[in-house]
Structure 1
């Protein structure tokens, strides 16, 4: 569980630095550096032990689709951070497991209990409290984080399906390289600039390190403990993001936003507890 908490601290650093940087650096350039760093650093760390075998996969097409989905999530995430504070953004991301529940019912035709639907409804109510008119973000841009949550839910469902036959390390490598290759093409269309200060380059490196280390720690967390034990730790990300947002941007969520964030966290924890109970009863 320590790995999961450390991963969420890394993601808080990643999101806060992203928000700070995209105010002065082209979004696509930051996106490219984040994926290029992850791809090269991960490959360099794993190559001495695994060589080309780490790229062996049973479904190359699904690896590409999964990489595209994560890249879409990153673009939507970067865009969302331009219009909403880090803490509220992180709370929104925590809606993903609840949206996965809804997709499981309507797309995969799985049975969903009434209690689980209550948790989903509570989480969505929490999201509405965050993006309400008069809150800390422009409601005209609310579609960005909502689209991100749906995309992330599809990404997680695909990840769960692929994890039955694919190595987590291989999936991590493919997401990095798919994102790096596509972002390289996009940044070459005119988003590249060399007019960056040494401080901005240092922040770009911080983004790369935080993203790579965060994803690696999350892989370790899920490989060493059951998902039901790891998932509650992920909600520590809201606390880390709130602290980082206050430290860097002097932003403190208002009363209604705090209520919404708390409601999302409680519903997410409740859903995790319910999943653990259902798993034990099988």
Structure 2
């Protein structure tokens, strides 16, 4: 029992570290986007992370059936949409609100499972879902006077992240974590490249943006590594609510760098969404 407790403690530490590192990714991405287009940033972060992972794949390649490649593509597409729309939203709404909407991914997971597996949402799950989406409504404030379409863009990033979460779990029993990440970054590179040219942007990186792209790449890779470690040490029922501390880190950076202070509706939304995730994870733990 004491060994299990130690593993859970390590999982909590890794989750907090992951949340902090990913808040640095968002901070650096928001700064980089003042100099380059979002699609260009996604392209280069994908290229560099794929190059970091390529040596780790030596001797690990195996022939995969078409069914596995389909899941790989869905996971990669979900991750691509998640980052692309998250970065787009960072340009137009405060960092804390974009991060808060992205953390709504667990609320979207049951609907992704419904679409992919035709598994109906249990009645017991509707209470936390309703509480969570009330929180989303507080953040978005969908009234003619307050509706900002970029909040909806931020929420789409949560849908993409939810798709990547579900499909990552589907892949976890069939392929290694390195393969999942490498394929994701490779596909993300391919998807972002035509988007760069369709938008009339350039792949060239000015000298003053290289440090920010370097920080995005390094923190993204480290964050993914810590994320995998967290789930190795502790169950999802622990990791999911603890990872919400990332919103606090994002709130701090938003205040310290841009002077953004969440309004009362954003704070109410934050409390509702966190309560929803907490209720869901407690329910999952009880079922386990």
CA distance in 2, matches of 1:267, 1:142: 19
Which of 48, 51, 56 does residue 40 from structure 1 map onto? 51
The equivalent of 2:264 in structure 1 is: 255
Matching residue of 1:28: 39
Among 5, 9, 17, the alignment partner of 2:28 is 17
CA 1:168 to 1:81, structure 2 compared with 1: closer, same or farther past 3 Å? same
Residue deviations 1:227-278 (CA, integer Å, cap 9, x gap): 2222222111111111111122111101111111121111111111111111
> What is the correspondence of 1:81-120 to structure 2 with a 5 Å cutoff?
81-104=90-113, 108-114=118-124, 116-120=125-129
User: Could you tell me which of 66, 73, 79 is aligned with 2:75?
Assistant: 66
Whole-angstrom distance in 1 between the partners of 2:287 and 2:197: 49
Q: Which among 224, 227, 231 is matched to residue 222 of structure 1?
A: 231
User: Aligned pair 1:264/2:250, yes or no?
Assistant: no
Compared with structure 1, are the counterparts of its residues 207 and 61 closer, same or farther at alpha carbon in structure 2 (3 Å cutoff)?
same
SS at match of 1:209: helix
1: CA distance, partners of 2:194 / 2:112: 32
Q: 1:186: how far off?
A: 3.8
CA distance in 1, matches of 2:195, 2:112: 31
User: Are 2:178 and 1:169 equivalent residues in the alignment?
Assistant: yes
Distance 1:101 1:181 in 2: 29
**CA contact 2:114–2:120 (8 Å) conserved in 1:** yes
State the distance in 2 between where 1:112 and 1:195 align.
49
8 Å Cα contact 2:75/2:165 also seen in 1 = no
Cα-to-partner distance string for 1:165-186 (whole Å, 9 max, x where unaligned): 2222211111112112333444
**Structure 1 pair 262/55, CA: closer, same or farther in 2 (3 Å)?**
farther
3-state secondary structure, aligned to 1:109: coil
* Structure 1 residue 77 corresponds to structure 2 residue 60: no
1:210 maps to what in 2? 219
1:122 aligns with 2:141: no
The structural deviation recorded for 1:57 is: 4.2
- Report the aligned-residue RMSD: 2.4
Q: Secondary structure at the match of 2:60?
A: helix
Q: What is the SS of the residue equivalent to 1:142?
A: helix
Q: TM-score, normalised by structure 1?
A: 0.87
User: Would you say how many aligned residue pairs link Structure 1 and Structure 2?
Assistant: 273
Note closer, same or farther for the CA distance 1:259–1:195 as it changes in structure 2 (3 Å cut). same
